[in-house]
Structure 1
């Protein structure tokens, strides 16, 4: 049985922010630390960048954009997940107790 050839997939546009956000969610739910998060974010950026390059190339600026967008979204979500509300209130309080 022969397989019919499939058209190359070149028009997929990944939601880079969603990818970073999901990596942070999974890393947090697995109980892994920030160092692992950074490894995973870097790995995702590399994988997506390599795919873009393989499909026809990407400029250095485009590759930087992919990595930066994934990293910023992932780190922002990590902060949301790990910051304790009491600690945030403590950091926001006036040192003289007037806030």
Structure 2
């Protein structure tokens, strides 16, 4: 049985939108939501090809690409909101349950 989707998460087949606990800056504007599009294999390979062995940096690179915001914008999120993004990403890429 799958876990209930939290109220702060809106999940579609091709993206997930996360409502932030407090507004944050992204691309020079204040936002209260961040949307991650579904990743392609190319997105994952590009994040890994950045030459870093740092898993956290690769994840930041991937999320930055999927959200179309800068890495510095993601680094400015509260830990609670970044954890929401992580949860949304993993919910987005998990295999559909039978």
Give the shorter-chain TM-score range: 0.3 to 0.5
More strand per residue:
2
Which is higher, the Rg of structure 1 or of structure 2?
Answer: 1
Structure 2 length normalisation: TM-score?
0.35
More helix per residue:
1
**RCO comparison, higher one (Cα < 8 Å, 6+):** 1
Structure 1 length normalisation: TM-score?
0.35
